[in-house]
Amino acid sequence: MGRSFSIEIKSRAYLDKISILDDDKGVLLEGEYGDLCFLSLHEDKLLEIQGSKGVFRIELTKNEISKLLEPEGYP
């Protein structure tokens, strides 16, 4: 199951590095999204992390988040 995501940065000045690696080996984005302002889950399927300088969004359900946060070995 694929997951979509988006990264929105308010200014190019907040980006430190953008690298597109040769031979389809990946892409690297580094920068600053600022102070954490807000965390929300839209329609139980889109996690949104808002910072003062940008926003990160990823397809992730509340149930998946809960499972990932369970202690290891928890039944």
Task: Report the SS3 class of residue 67.
Answer: helix
d(Cα 41, Cα 71) in Å, to the nearest integer?
A: 22
- Identify whether the C-beta of residue 53 lies closer than 8 Å to the C-beta of residue 37: no
Domain segments of the chain: what residues? 5-69
What is the predicted pLDDT for the residue at 35? 96
What is the predicted pLDDT for the residue at 60? 92
Could you say which DSSP state residue 72 is in?
T
What is the predicted pLDDT for the residue at 30? 92
Per-residue pLDDT of the chain (75 residues; tens, 9 = 90+): 678 999 999 999 999 998 888 777 788 889 998 999 999 999 889 999 999 999 999 999 988 888 888 877 555
What is the predicted pLDDT for the residue at 21? 80
Task: Report the SS3 class of residue 16.
Answer: strand
d(Cα 7, Cα 40) in Å, to the nearest integer?
A: 15
